[in-house]
């Protein structure tokens, strides 16, 4: 009985070191079709790196669809603030919808392709 508890304790102690690699593996294999149906609430439950990767994937897709691109710097930060605000107001909305509406709102300020 003691060895089972010791083995379980060792497995639980190793779990936090395995979780980031599992999340990274998930985000690396995440397709657009899977990312399109992630809600803001589900995105908030993700690790920050995985959430950022999904948001960037969706933002780049939405911007390409609108004939723009997502820049680094002030315009990208403004877009991120709009997405954060939209997800705060509508946590059950699809993240793609919130990102797309933020891109549309900032479209005149975004560089074109």
Name the residue among 26, 32, 28, 45 with its Cα closest to residue 99: 32
Is 113 a residue whose pLDDT tops 90? no
Q: Angle at CA 66, nearest 5°, toward 86 and 100?
A: 15
Domain membership of residue 11 (yes or no) is: no
* Alpha-carbon gap, residue 40 to 44, rounded angstroms: 6
| Averaged pLDDT score across all residues of the chain | 82
Range in 1-15, 40-54, 85-99 the model is least confident about: 1-15
User: Hey, what are 46's tokens?
Assistant: 């993700």
Domain membership of residue 76 (yes or no) is: yes
Name the residue among 26, 29, 84 with its Cα closest to residue 55: 84
Q: Which domain holds residue 98?
A: 20-109
User: Hey, what are 51's tokens?
Assistant: 């959430």
Domain count for the chain: 1
pLDDT tens digits, one per residue of 74-91? 888 999 999 999 999 999
């Amino acid at each position: 009985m003691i060895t089972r508890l010791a083995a379980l304790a060792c497995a639980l102690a190793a779990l936090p070191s395995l979780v980031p690699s599992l999340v990274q593996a998930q985000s690396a294999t995440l397709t657009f079709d899977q990312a399109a149906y992630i809600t803001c609430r589900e995105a908030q439950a993700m690790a920050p790196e995985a959430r950022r990767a999904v948001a960037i994937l969706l933002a780049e897709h939405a911007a390409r669809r609108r004939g723009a691109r997502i820049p680094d710097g002030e315009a990208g930060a403004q877009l991120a603030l709009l997405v954060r605000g939209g997800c705060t107001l509508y946590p059950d909305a699809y993240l793609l919808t919130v990102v797309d509406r933020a891109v549309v709102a900032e479209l005149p300020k975004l560089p074109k392709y």
